[in-house]
Amino acid sequence: MVCHKSLDTAFAYQTRFRFKTIEHIFLISNNESFRFKMKKKPLYLLMLVILAANAGFAQKIESQRIPLIGSNAPSFKAPSTNGAIVFPEDFGKSWKILFAHPRDFTPVCSSEVLELARLQDEFISLNTQIIVISVDRLVSHQSWKKDLEEVDYKGLGKMKINFPLVVDSSYAISSNYGMLDSKSNAGQSVRGVFFVDPENKIRAFQFYPNEVGRNSEEILRVLKALQMHHANNDIVLPSNWQPGSDVMIPFLSKEDKEELKKPDSKIYYLNWYMIFKKNK
């Protein structure tokens, strides 16, 4: 059943945050007469602020770049629903997944965050912490989180969201990770996922458009594959690899060649460049 009151509240929040941005920009001005004139011309004021905001967003897009695999994950400080955080220092030697989404109180983003909440215990068991990021303000994050925690998702009952929802209203984080949506006029990020290892190196990333939600099971699969390689850097993982299935060997070591001679060898090959090793 759709709660129209909740829908009205969502629209009200989106509108209020945009007008809060307007207010903050012009409160820094020391020109009293200018402020007085602008109060008399709200539409003109709104147009100026939208132009200023769009110009700032455009500058961020022009300067953004995606950090490469193997590079250090860009650091940041930001408020969140779990308090102020310093990334990556606050997350120690765990794996980290940065999970950016376009906007609070939107359908696809809500389904994604609820999926993460469903799997959050499994992420913890894999020594992995989730950090969700969007350009919305803290009061929006707090209200959205509270609302989502009242949803009975997939008949699983109400779930607590224990991971932080991080504020990126300045677009700084999204810009540093190359996640700003160049096709959006609303000033938002794409659906970005960054996998960061315990040494704070970027190990993989995924980008999705606004209209397509991410597969939480695929995020888990990629994480487990990265962790498998992290613990065994002499192997690689084939297409559609799942935990427990066979792995591949990029080249044969002396030990591998001896293993091949055994009748019950764990190593087998399809041709000289596709060598597998049984994982069980």
Task: Name the residues annotated as catalytic.
Answer: 109
The DSSP code for 279 is -
> What is the token pair recorded at 154?
């997939």
106-112 own/partner pairs: CB under 8 Å, 24+ apart: 108/210, 108/211, 108/212, 108/213, 109/134, 110/144, 110/148, 110/151, 111/213, 112/191, 112/213, 112/214, 112/216
d(C-alpha 204, C-alpha 189), whole Å: 18
Cβ–Cβ < 8 Å for 169, 137: yes
Phi, psi of 95 (to 5 degrees): -75, 150
Q: For residue 16, give Cα distances in angstroms to 138, 235, 246.
A: 13, 52, 53
The DSSP code for 130 is E
Cβ-based neighbour number of residue 8 at 10 Å: 10
d(C-alpha 184, C-alpha 102), whole Å: 10
